[in-house]
Amino acid sequence: MSEADDIDMLAAEYALGTLPAGERAAVAMRARSEAALAAAIEAWERRLGPLAETIAPREAPSNLWPAIEARLDALTSDTGQNTSVAAKVIGIERRLRRWRTAAIAASAIAASLAVFVGAREFASPGADKMLVAVLQKDAQSPAFLVSVDLERRQLTIRAVAAKPQPGKSYELWLVHDELKQPRSLGVIGDGPLTVAPTLASYAPNVIEQGTLAVSLEPEGGSPTGAPTGPVLFTGKLIQTTQ
């Protein structure tokens, strides 16, 4: 791995918020004096920002934090003069406050990480514009990762958590107002990757602004040319390269 790759990976981890506090502070200090690292961080924040905004925050159950805090209060009372245990409790309380904040953003970070890993795997050198989408039912259930090379009109689909359904096929659809009705982009194969040049006839704005959807169809795909089964997963494409 080259130094540029190392910087790009570190910048991505910083933007995603996955670094431990000490390492994150060290990276922030480096970025003040290393223009390449600062630029890489800014680029990843631009790429991931739109995706994070599409993920609804998820709160922990309302009774969870009071229950944890009550147990901590009881533990503090029981420690008496045991300063060592009390110090540990104080440390736990501080981490609890951080966990409370982190829980709200956890779903967005998880989805962003999936896009980050997929985009690095799918992106081809020299591609002018790469788009990716996470197709999911909700923030906790990413099913497929879709990558589109807009110059080549090439579509790549990676199964994330979707399981094969006996006697059924997943079919990918493009939905846009200009198309009047959903257009099939093909049946998703049973393997981990499906590559198909199925976007050649669509204008760039239709691809970029459209919605991708996956329905569950009879084996081999829809017999009518339109979705006949339930639409299980949806997502929007976002740009990942400048």
Per-residue confidence band for 154, with pLDDT thresholds at 50, 70 and 90: confident
* In the predicted structure, residue 76 carries a pLDDT above the cut 70: no
Phi, psi at residue 123, to the nearest 5°? -60, 130
Considering the domain boundaries, does residue 108 fall inside one? no
Considering the domain boundaries, does residue 147 fall inside one? yes
Considering the domain boundaries, does residue 15 fall inside one? no
Residue entry with tokens 């540990």: 88
159 contacts 114 by C-beta, under 8 angstroms: no
238 contacts 134 by C-beta, under 8 angstroms: no
Which residue has better confidence, 168 or 75? 168
Considering the domain boundaries, does residue 28 fall inside one? no
Mean pLDDT of 192-208: 79
Q: HEC profile for the chain?
A: CCHHHHHHHHHHHHHHCCCCHHHHHHHHHHHHHCHHHHHHHHHHHHHHHHHHHHCCCCCCCCCHHHHHHHHHHHHHHHHCCCHHHHHHHHHHHHHHHHHHHHHHHHHHHHHHHHHHHHHHHHCCCCCCCEEEEEEECCCCCEEEEEEEECCCCEEEEEECCCCCCCCEEEEEEEECHHHCCCEEEEECCCCCEEEECCCCCCCHHHHHHCEEEEEEEECCCCCCCCCCCCEEEEEECEECCC
Considering the domain boundaries, does residue 176 fall inside one? yes
Give the domain range for residue 203.
Answer: 124-239
Mean pLDDT of 89-106: 51
CA distance 61 to 64: 5
pLDDT in tens, 102-150: 444 444 445 545 544 554 444 444 445 788 888 887 655 678 888 888 8
Mean pLDDT of 61-78: 71
| pLDDT for the residue 92 | 58
Q: How many domains does the chain have?
A: 1
What CATH number does residue 136 fall under? 2.60.40
Considering the domain boundaries, does residue 146 fall inside one? yes
* In the predicted structure, residue 177 carries a pLDDT above the cut 70: yes
Q: Is this model's pTM higher than 0.95 or not?
A: no
| pLDDT for the residue 108 | 46
Considering the domain boundaries, does residue 212 fall inside one? yes
Considering the domain boundaries, does residue 174 fall inside one? yes
Which residue has better confidence, 200 or 232? 232
